[in-house]
């Protein structure tokens, strides 16, 4: 039985990004969604992973809008104007590794810590966007050291929190969600426009998966098509 009820309230974290804004539009036009809230670094209630103190502040500010039956965190970083994913070990540098760990693992894990308190104890799903390249078992090409490592760390944090929630919040499913390649600023340098899907299509696929999850799905790494991915 799905944890998200037939009518639900949703929160999108990172709602100004390509995937986040697609989720917002989809939810706002979904008759089953009673209310859809979105936050990002420039919203009235800001959340910015470069300033980790904003995570708890944002959760406190939104507490009165809950409980939420669905929370989706779309914040993530692959590259910047200063550097691209590493092609070889000699490209590895501490600043890049630290930044991706903060944005892709530390920020999302603290978001689970604080925002999970806003979830409906009767039944809720909290999904964090991960990436298939964060799978240790599936890594066959190498490269992209910082991004792979940060997503692998994120996956472990989600899995560990889900085990705890199995004891303390049995009607909550925490999942790592792989969106696939989506046409976005993140994927553009890697031929994303040629091989990716439209953001609206990706969000629609992922929402369908999230609305079908039950408590047994908590602690899984799942794709936009509903496929269980290897850790």
Q: Where are the domains of the chain?
A: 8-223
Residue of 109 and 195 predicted with greater confidence: 109
pLDDT at 192: 46
For residue range 188-208, list pLDDT tens digits in order.
Answer: 555 545 557 899 999 999 999
Q: Give the confidence band of 98 by pLDDT, cuts at 50, 70, 90.
A: very high
For residue range 123-141, list pLDDT tens digits in order.
Answer: 999 999 999 999 999 999 9
Report the alpha-carbon distance of residue 132 to residue 126 in Å, rounded: 18
What mean pLDDT value characterizes the chain? 94
Report the alpha-carbon distance of residue 66 to residue 62 in Å, rounded: 7
pLDDT at 207: 98
DSSP 94-148: HHHHHHHHIIIIIHHHHHHHHHGGGB-TTSEEEEEE--GGG-STT--S---HHHH
Q: Helix, strand or coil for residue 198? A: coil
CA proximity to 178, closest of 205, 139, 212, 143: 205
**For residue 170, which phi and psi values (nearest 5 degrees)?**
-70, -15
DSSP β-ladder status, 220-223 and 172-178: parallel
Burial of 74 (0-12, 13-18, 19+ CB in 10 A): buried
In this structure, of 13-22, 89-98, 138-147, 186-195, the range with the lowest mean pLDDT score is 186-195
pLDDT at 196: 75
Integer-rounded Cα Rg, in Å, for the chain is 17
Q: Give the confidence band of 80 by pLDDT, cuts at 50, 70, 90.
A: confident
Report the alpha-carbon distance of residue 118 to residue 122 in Å, rounded: 12
CATH class of the structural domain 8-223: alpha beta
Question: pTM value?
Answer: 0.93
């Amino acid at each position: 039985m799905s944890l998200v009820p037939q009518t639900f309230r949703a929160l999108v974290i990172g709602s100004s990004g390509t995937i986040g804004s697609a989720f917002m539009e989809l939810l706002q036009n979904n008759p089953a969604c009673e209310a859809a809230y979105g936050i990002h670094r420039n919203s009235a209630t800001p959340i910015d992973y470069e300033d980790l103190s904003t995570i708890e502040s944002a959760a406190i500010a939104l507490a009165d809008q809950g409980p939420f039956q669905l929370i989706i965190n779309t914040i993530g970083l692959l590259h910047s104007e200063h550097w691209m994913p590493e092609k070889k070990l000699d490209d590895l540098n501490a600043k890049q590794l630290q930044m991706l760990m903060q944005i892709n693992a530390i920020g999302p894990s603290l978001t689970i810590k604080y925002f999970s308190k806003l979830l409906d104890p009767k039944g809720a799903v909290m999904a964090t966007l991960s990436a298939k390249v964060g799978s240790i078992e599936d890594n066959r090409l190498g490269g992209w050291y910082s991004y792979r490592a940060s997503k692998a760390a994120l996956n472990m944090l989600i899995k560990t929190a889900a085990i705890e929630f199995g004891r303390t919040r049995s009607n909550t499913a925490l999942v790592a969600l792989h969106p696939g390649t989506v046409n976005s600023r993140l994927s553009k340098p890697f031929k994303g426009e040629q091989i990716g899907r439209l953001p609206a299509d990706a969000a629609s696929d992922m929402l369908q998966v999230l609305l079908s999850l039950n408590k047994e799905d908590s602690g899984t790494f799942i794709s936009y098509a509903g496929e269980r991915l290897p850790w």
